[in-house]
Structure 1
């Protein structure tokens, strides 16, 4: 052992060396707990996880992580491995400086096997080298060669152009700028246009304004099975590992026919606008048919709605857990679930709901007070929904955890108070910046940030999972059904339960914010189906009992 140690001390680091030979024992034990045994595996782990690679490892903070990465970079030559640029990049105001770098993409035909790789797999053993040969970047960091910029595209209009666009990237950004006040639409359209632009330049070798009908047909076929080099795990947009298509749990990125049709329609709409503003002479997508889609019997997946008995048991359990000392997260999730389950809100609507828009209704009475909440929902349509007494009690408890007075808030405080807001802020720069509370003149937090829709969804999923894992007194079927419920399932629960209690369908429609009454009648059919299934089960049990008596 002494001889081996002496020989190892004289050798440079090698990917096959155990991490315990080069790192401190305490650090090595932490890394081994994550399945990292060699230096090569450590580099691959860092490159796969990116700048936050250390967060899942106990007692490895940012300082220690920075020291480990610095040591790996010093020995890149002997390791013959490269640590990706964003693993420990310099930050300014919490944002990696690598996010400001402009990346020029080139056609795949010009990329050779001996060229520099840009993907994560090039930095560690066992990766797919083919996946690392393409340089890809999101729209905000994207640059294309002049020959493929569309500055002299074949489809460019000769007439006076209404927008200031010298090339295709300018035209894309001008189109997206129309949706700057609609963040959800902007995010969705940006994703589809950057995917199409990258496909055109990198895989098709053409500018956007050079594409014809056969190119659009080829992209429609591409959507059925995207190129593996365009597919990867979810990473921040500033990461070199970012890919246009996110891989599923099975590693594929196959899109449903409904998604394919949506993408084709988004692109057709964008090209139509470019024709209208005289940037393009014609719209090739106009001659492309939509992908075939099977018309579903039920467009909405409402089977995740909780049955009445399970919904009541869940409410009781949430009340019990919220009554415990220090159960701030349970009180927050109870308020969120009741807002969706009693008022039919979508998760985006619950996350954006403001205290100033919640008030006692003029239609209530002293014996039966009613509160109402005004929200802006899907399609930027405003509506007012009733709020239950249980929801109000849950909100008051949640506000006490935030050290705020729900009923005694002044009008000034109400202007910027989200109904739901995190009580525990994650220890990350991004979270601290977003939830930093400036002090108002009254000493109260001003401009408090609420949950994002995704953050609220993660909170509900985490707490529901804990319920499923700990509620041993519930039946297996109940836990399975609850485990399948996401945040939107509680909106479906309100709809099915209110219809079952004979609330008029047009009233349910107004509460849910459906444009068409036909959409709401899906819940009526669901309730009829449930009645038939329950009675059919009753018939079967009666028949079985009759048969036993006959025996």
Structure 2
């Protein structure tokens, strides 16, 4: 199944998209943007079926699928709970309203909450059912689900679509995904036009305008790279993790390997979450390389340096495995603390965010600006750090391009752009 489907009794309270009810709101048959004079190449009649085709045709990697699924789920919940209209009826003004909503989902208690499991086993739901306040309709629906004669997990009533409002970058990313969805549906003859294609998507959810902050955030990747001092603080924060108990030791060993793998490979978290240790292979010349299927489904190889090989060996030894993998090794890159199952990309994200917070605390007394930067950092900043450090230490941009797996050398060149430094030096010459 492409994405989970929408619960039939959500009213104006968002919940996990579960058993989908193809009603008027999400069916979209009467949508004002439906293409009536062109051939529908998808051969489907509902918005939901069209969305499933888009996911199948465009989400080539598990990480991309999760990202697309999250954004379309949020939009469909907003369509049902707020706009009260289907995707096929959304116009430019609706997407502008949605963009503003993404910055501040309200009512907050209905839309925002801590990160929790989306579904729970029925036994746990039965234990929780007496502790949560439900409307009479929700109570009747839950009772029917709890007595159902199957073992399917149930939607978690504590789950929410958001933790908090999205940042400018998050809003832009969401709208770009939705622009891609609409473009696909237009090209397929399902929709008449793309409401998001009229003007560029900007910051703060406004379309057609970009703030100075947005330009700084997206124009220079070096600003999202850690300085050598900040990177050292991140490594130091990892080394200061407690290791007294078995669980703490497991947490430290995993965090240490996560940090080194992201940096030494210039990897995206989704790539590591979707590969096994067997993708690190030894070549006939004795060197080790990571064979990765990356962004856009493209295959590449990345050399593995001695430091990462040592970190890999230490982590595997901790898990009770041989020091180095074989090509047939199916062990995930990172396991849960019990060593029984792989961790998700979201879990890897949380590991790095925790380390960044600890590193920020270390840098606060001497460099408050670096501390604030570390608090804002995400795992992808480590990839920016990887590329920036390579550019600063080598004159061969093509080598860096290949290591970073950039298709275009112009992308790599943005990490070398020191025009701001030149401007600062120039202004210092006058006084």
Report the Cα offset of residue 503 of structure 1: 4.7
1:273 aligns with 184
1:492 aligns with 384
Equivalents in 2 of 1:498, 1:337: separation in Å?
Answer: 17
1:221 aligns with 2:97: yes
1:299 aligns with 219
Question: Alignment partner for residue 113 of structure 2, among 230, 233, 244?
Answer: 233
Deviations 1:355-408 (A, max 9, x none): 32223345x5xxxx642212122222222222121211111111011110033x
Deviations 1:233-259 (A, max 9, x none): 245542345554x253xxxx3652x55
Report the Cα offset of residue 220 of structure 1: 1.5
Deviations 1:271-310 (A, max 9, x none): 4433444444x22527743312427255355345443356
Question: Alignment partner for residue 403 of structure 1, among 320, 332, 340?
Answer: 320
Structure 1: unaligned runs, 5 residues or longer: 1-98, 107-133, 426-434, 437-448, 540-551
How does the TM-score come out when normalised to structure 1?
Answer: 0.55
Question: Alignment partner for residue 516 of structure 1, among 389, 408, 416?
Answer: 408
1:289 aligns with 199
Question: Alignment partner for residue 295 of structure 2, among 375, 378, 402?
Answer: 378
Equivalent residues of 2:280, 2:289 under 8 A apart: yes
Equivalents in 2 of 1:140, 1:341: separation in Å?
Answer: 38
Larger radius of gyration: 1
Higher relative contact order (CA 8 A, sep 6+): 2
Structure 2: unaligned runs, 5 residues or longer: 119-154, 201-206
Equivalents in 2 of 1:518, 1:315: separation in Å?
Answer: 31
1:359 aligns with 2:281: yes
Report the Cα offset of residue 519 of structure 1: 2.4
Equivalents in 2 of 1:450, 1:352: separation in Å?
Answer: 9
How does the TM-score come out when normalised to structure 2?
Answer: 0.68
Identify if the C-alpha distance between structure 1 residues 101 and 266 changes in structure 2 by more than 3 Å, giving closer, same or farther: closer
SS in structure 1 at match of 2:28: coil
Equivalents in 2 of 1:100, 1:165: separation in Å?
Answer: 17
Equivalents in 1 of 2:83, 2:243: separation in Å?
Answer: 60
Deviations 1:189-216 (A, max 9, x none): 334434444444444443444x26xx33
Equivalent residues of 1:232, 1:241 under 8 A apart: no
Aligned ranges 1:31-180 → 2 under 5 Å: 102-104=7-9, 134-143=12-21, 145-146=23-24, 149-153=27-31, 155=34, 157=36, 161-179=40-58
Report the Cα offset of residue 153 of structure 1: 4.7
Identify if the C-alpha distance between structure 1 residues 333 and 104 changes in structure 2 by more than 3 Å, giving closer, same or farther: closer
Identify if the C-alpha distance between structure 1 residues 459 and 219 changes in structure 2 by more than 3 Å, giving closer, same or farther: closer
